[in-house]
Amino acid sequence: MKTLTLLRHAKSGWDDPVARDFDRPLNKRGAVAARLIGQFAAQQGMTFDHMVCSPAIRCVETLDEFFVGYGTVIEPHWDRRIYLASSTTLLDIIRETPDTVESLILAGHNPGLEDLVLDLVPDDGRSPLRAAVEAKFPTASLAVMTWDGDWSTLKEGSARLTGFTRPRDLDPALGPEQDEY
């Protein structure tokens, strides 16, 4: 069985004067949320054989904070195609993963990550986690999916969503209605 974990970049700083969206950094709230999600992943015993990530600054900084919380650094493979990628592009990238990898984490952006979950997990009305992702895949959230088969055989409707954790699930102060960070 393969495990795919999706990590959306943490909240970025729209107030930062940057020339390109690609260069937008995290804000303070985003850094706190990324660290907390990393701690959660460590507490849950999540392990990853391979990591593929967008090289956008907000993803790089999300990983820096995630690793602080996680307690160890995983060497990422940077792939520019992930930056603002569609679900179809993300699925192509995932299918390139060597079959020796059992657990992959992919860090990137919405709407691609949310769409990927909705494409891979059947809409049969039996998954409250899928319904939560469909409502919103917030910044710094983790979605975990499993399926039987190889990376190259992953297709729409073939995965099970086994986990979906938002920063606000771990600390209500990180909810959308809070502004202290």
Query: Collapsing DSSP states into helix, strand and coil, what is residue 62?
Result: helix
Tell me, rounded to whole angstroms, the distance of Cα 160 from its chain centroid.
16
What pLDDT does 13 receive?
77
Q: How far apart are CA 116 and CA 47, in angstroms?
A: 21
Query: Collapsing DSSP states into helix, strand and coil, what is residue 37?
Result: helix
Q: Contact at 8 Å (CB) between 14 and 24?
A: yes
Tokens 């102060």 -> residue:
173
pLDDT tens-digit profile, the chain (181 residues): 999 999 999 999 767 677 788 999 999 999 999 999 999 999 999 999 999 999 999 999 999 999 999 999 999 999 999 999 999 999 999 999 999 999 999 999 999 999 999 999 999 988 999 999 999 999 999 999 999 999 999 999 999 999 999 999 999 988 875 543 3
pLDDT tens by residue, 43-52: 999 999 999 9
pLDDT tens by residue, 27-37: 999 999 999 99
Could you give the C-alpha distances from 90 to 23, 123, 158, in angstroms and in order?
Answer: 21, 19, 15
What pLDDT does 179 receive?
43
Domains in the chain and their CATH numbers?
2-9+25-171 (3.40.50.1240)
For 15, counting Cβ atoms within 10 Å of its Cβ (0-12 exposed, 13-18 middle, 19+ buried), the class is exposed
